[in-house]
Amino acid sequence: MTEVVPLARPSITQEDREAVMRVLTSGRLSGGPSTLGFERRLASACGVAGAVAVSSGTAGLMLALQACEVGPGDEVITTPFTFVATASAIRHLGATAVLADIDPVSWNIDPARIAAAVTRRTRAVLPVHVFGRPAEMTPIREIARAHDLRIVEDACEALGSHIGGMACGSMGDAAVFGFYPNKVVTSGEGGAVTSNDPAILEWCRRQRNHGRLPGSAYGSPVPGHNFRISELQAALAASQLRRLPSLIRRRQRLASEYDRRLSGHEEIVLPDAEQNDMTMAWFAYVVRLADRFDVQARDRVRARMSDLGVETGHYFPAVHRLPSADGPGMRVHDSAAHAEALSDRVIALPFFHDLDGDQMDRVCEALISCVGRQRPA
Ligand SMILES: Cc1ncc(COP(=O)(O)O)c(C=O)c1O
């Protein structure tokens, strides 16, 4: 039987393994030199003053938002086309996620919709660099300045992406990365907050550890968390980060190869990465089916691809249509029609460092044939 082509798989080298083993033999498994080293390396990769490593991207979002004084009764404007955690982090703080629709080409939040969604309760904007494509940060920064709003970038999918010469993770008051195993760099589980603001960095450092800074007494006026990362995880992430440029180059090559093999099929809309001033680190390769495919037809394509041994993902269900959307802390501003239309038609294709030519052939053949079979008569 032919092997299944997985949706994602981490790239783990001998060096990565040795880095983790060194921590194990050191006996220091938390709060040590690997965490500090990883934070320094991440801050330097993003061109920011500092980074605070935490246990997950979601934990990082919660800390960064809290550091920007988001709390009960506040509104935070974000996108409906994102991983659910973006909105959950806002809601866990007692604030409301106000969803402003996306641009149908970039799939990122539309700055004009952000401007229209601002109210006197708005405290912050949380743009997401979806699949590693940088959000339109110049207009977003202008809107934030005009309305005195904080910006927290959700850069969980965008380590290594740049726009206008600036790294994702360096363009807001704070930014958050995630290191789940499907990411360009992984620590198994983990995340980090980056910032140029010493007060934000100190808040995150303190609150990830029950309100304490290393070697100091409890100093936090509000309850802290255990959002620490272990030394084992930090060592793995630091080792991976060392080869970030080559990890990104590989993903860029894979994305071009997918583009080449799938272009010319009018039922398959390829991800748009054409903008001149941007470098995209490619977290995922996601295609959109043409408008005439409805959600059932898309699901049939995915099911048939699965029968052919090709794993696919649904990145993303629009967050306001998930079961968890019922209840307080979320509302759509005006309309999320573009996000809904996209969400009904997206298919994430297998995408990882060691994806080989034969596997890519199988993915493309499966997609093209399954889309063909679903074509309306
Ligand atoms: C856009 C986005 N935000 C937030 C998260 C949450 O990260 P984590 O799963 O590490 O909590 C992810 C993770 O996959 C993500 O893709």
166 and 283 in a single domain? The answer is no
Alpha carbon 188 to chain centroid, angstroms: 15
353 and 255 in a single domain? The answer is yes
pLDDT tens digit string along 259-289? 999 999 999 999 998 877 999 999 999 999 9
Position 369 pLDDT exceeds 70 = yes
Count the helices and strands in the chain (H runs, E runs): 12, 14
> CA 134, 126, 106, 365 torsion: positive or negative?
positive
Look at residue 3 and tell me if it is in a domain: no
Question: Starting from the edge strand earliest in sequence, which strands make up the sheet with 330-332, in order?
Answer: 50-54, 191-195, 174-178, 150-154, 122-126, 75-78, 96-99, 330-332
pLDDT value at residue 156: 98
Distance CA 289, CA 257 (A): 19
pLDDT value at residue 50: 98
191 and 261 in a single domain? The answer is no
Of all residues in the chain, the percent with pLDDT exceeding 90 is 93
Give 121 Cα–ligand 1 centroid separation in angstroms: 26
Domain count, the chain: 2
Look at residue 322 and tell me if it is in a domain: yes
State both tokens at 45: 């990769």
185 and 52 in a single domain? The answer is yes
257 and 217 in a single domain? The answer is no
pLDDT value at residue 217: 77
Of all residues in the chain, the percent with pLDDT exceeding 70 is 99
| Mean predicted confidence (pLDDT) in 293-301 | 96
Contact 65, 298 (CB under 8 A): no
| Mean predicted confidence (pLDDT) in 216-221 | 79
| Mean predicted confidence (pLDDT) in 350-371 | 97
One-letter amino acid identity for 191?
G
Q: ∠ at Cα 226 (242, 237), nearest 5°?
A: 10
Residue 329 near ligand 1, beta carbon < 6 Å: no
Query: Which atom of ligand 1 is found nearest the CA of 190?
Result: 10
Q: What is the DSSP letter of 130?
A: G
User: Domain of 334: which CATH number?
Assistant: 3.90.1150.10
Task: Note down the domain range covering 287.
Answer: 244-374
Contact 99, 320 (CB under 8 A): yes
State both tokens at 235: 């060592």
Considering the entire predicted model, what is its pTM?
0.97
Alpha carbon 226 to chain centroid, angstroms: 22
Query: Which atom of ligand 1 is found nearest the CA of 61?
Result: 4
Residue 128 near ligand 1, beta carbon < 6 Å: yes
pLDDT value at residue 1: 63
Residue 54 near ligand 1, beta carbon < 6 Å: no
Query: Using 50, 70 and 90 to split pLDDT, how confident is the model at 327?
Result: confident
Look at residue 9 and tell me if it is in a domain: no
| Mean predicted confidence (pLDDT) in 64-71 | 98
316: preceding bond cis by omega (within 30 degrees): yes
Q: Determine the angle formed by the axes of helices 57-67 and 198-207, rounding to 10 degrees.
A: 130
Give 99 Cα–ligand 1 centroid separation in angstroms: 17
Position 214 pLDDT exceeds 90 = no
Q: Which residues contact 187 (CB under 8 A, 6 or more apart)?
A: 179, 229, 233, 234, 236, 237, 240
Distance CA 1, CA 309 (A): 10
Look at residue 289 and tell me if it is in a domain: yes
pLDDT value at residue 305: 97
| Mean predicted confidence (pLDDT) in 147-176 | 97
pLDDT tens digit string along 224-236? 999 999 999 999 9
196 and 301 in a single domain? The answer is no
Look at residue 316 and tell me if it is in a domain: yes
Position 319 pLDDT exceeds 80 = yes
251 and 232 in a single domain? The answer is no
Residue 351 near ligand 1, beta carbon < 6 Å: no
Choose between 215 and 258: higher pLDDT: 258
Look at residue 277 and tell me if it is in a domain: yes
Among residues 191, 195, 192, the alpha carbon closest in space to that of 172 is found at 195
297 and 163 in a single domain? The answer is no
pLDDT value at residue 38: 98
pLDDT value at residue 276: 77
Dihedral pair phi/psi, residue 286, rounded to 5°: -120, 130
Look at residue 298 and tell me if it is in a domain: yes
Distance CA 126, CA 73 (A): 16
53 and 130 in a single domain? The answer is yes
Question: What is the average pLDDT score of the chain?
Answer: 96
Position 93 pLDDT exceeds 90 = yes
Give 295 Cα–ligand 1 centroid separation in angstroms: 24
Give 85 Cα–ligand 1 centroid separation in angstroms: 6
Residue owning the nearest CA to atom 8 of ligand 1: 57
Distance CA 340, CA 317 (A): 8
| Final residue in a domain of this structure, among 242, 265, 292 | 242
Residue 154 near ligand 1, beta carbon < 6 Å: yes
73 and 177 in a single domain? The answer is yes
Look at residue 4 and tell me if it is in a domain: no
Query: Which atom of ligand 1 is found nearest the CA of 89?
Result: 4
Distance CA 59, CA 90 (A): 11
Position 143 pLDDT exceeds 90 = yes
Residue 180 near ligand 1, beta carbon < 6 Å: yes
Among residues 292, 261, 291, 286, the alpha carbon closest in space to that of 273 is found at 286
Residue 56 near ligand 1, beta carbon < 6 Å: yes
116 and 35 in a single domain? The answer is yes
pLDDT value at residue 81: 98
| Final residue in a domain of this structure, among 220, 242, 264 | 242
Q: What is the DSSP letter of 105?
A: T
Contact 173, 162 (CB under 8 A): no
User: Domain of 193: which CATH number?
Assistant: 3.40.640.10
pLDDT value at residue 220: 82
| Final residue in a domain of this structure, among 203, 224, 242 | 242
Distance CA 152, CA 293 (A): 35
Distance CA 187, CA 37 (A): 14
Query: Using 50, 70 and 90 to split pLDDT, how confident is the model at 375?
Result: low
235 and 271 in a single domain? The answer is no
